Structure 1
């Protein structure tokens, strides 16, 4: 049984940091949409849902860092599969429709480019977070039971 003060391996700590980067990028993207679109019903609703997801993601990431296996699985499936699909579905559909990235960049302003960079950081952070959670040292960390809290 693991000592509650035992430090998570570097891969798990880095995965945690990666999840925080992903959430930070998501917050930036949400704020960008609100700034661009204004506080319409759809935007407010979407921002509320995303905010709830961000809060839950950080809470679950804390549990993952503490060695909770359910949290690792929740992050991997919830954000690594479902969340990632939501981040890439529209860009893939846009590209499949015959649009070109160089033209998009040429037609974009600074805010659009900042959003695009943030989305790229967001995607990479999710991929890194998922990958790091399943390294050999992380797998060993999650095999050891976490002591029940009083």
Structure 2
């Protein structure tokens, strides 16, 4: 589906920084999906699992991830509004939501060893996905503001207003 309205690749004239940003955003999304699936699978192992609430949570996340992917595609095609939306949505709100829980756990621990009590394989996998998600966002946001990306967004938007 290259070159169609459904293509999810950056434009061929997009600079490398925009391609890096787009790729990092896709990696962040995949890490988010992996974390959601791992978390849900872990919750399903519990006897008191609320399947309805887990399904609702997955549906909400899937919707958010699809919207973010759509905005990322628009960003890769040069839409400045998409770059701004990703900066605040993913770079501020999303990043904060990923960091708050582990930060709260770290700050509430009396000793560092408390953080490793009851550590499970599922927690390690979730932590790996979350770390990958955070790192991908920390690559994507600066890449969208690299000088070559700024020129690309300026040029693309000036061409669309003619």
Where on the TM-score scale, by shorter chain, does this alignment land: which range? 0.7 to 0.9
Runs (5+) with no aligned partner, structure 2 = 1-10, 45-49
Corresponding residue of 1:73 = 84
Corresponding residue of 2:60 = 49
Q: TM-score, normalised by structure 2?
A: 0.81
Corresponding residue of 2:29 = 23
1:137 matches 2:148: yes
SS of alignment partner, residue 85 of structure 1: helix
Given candidates 97, 104, 107, the residue that maps to 1:93 is 104
> Relative to structure 1, is the Cα distance of residues 99 and 114 closer, same or farther in structure 2, using a 3 angstrom cutoff?
farther
Q: What CA RMSD, in Å, does the superposition of the two structures yield over aligned residues?
A: 1.9
Q: CA deviation at 1:29?
A: 0.5
SS of alignment partner, residue 136 of structure 2: helix
SS of alignment partner, residue 125 of structure 2: helix
Q: For the Cα contact (< 8 Å) 2:39–2:122, is it kept in 1?
A: no
Q: For the Cα contact (< 8 Å) 1:33–1:43, is it kept in 2?
A: no
1:122 matches 2:133: yes
Q: TM-score, normalised by structure 1?
A: 0.88
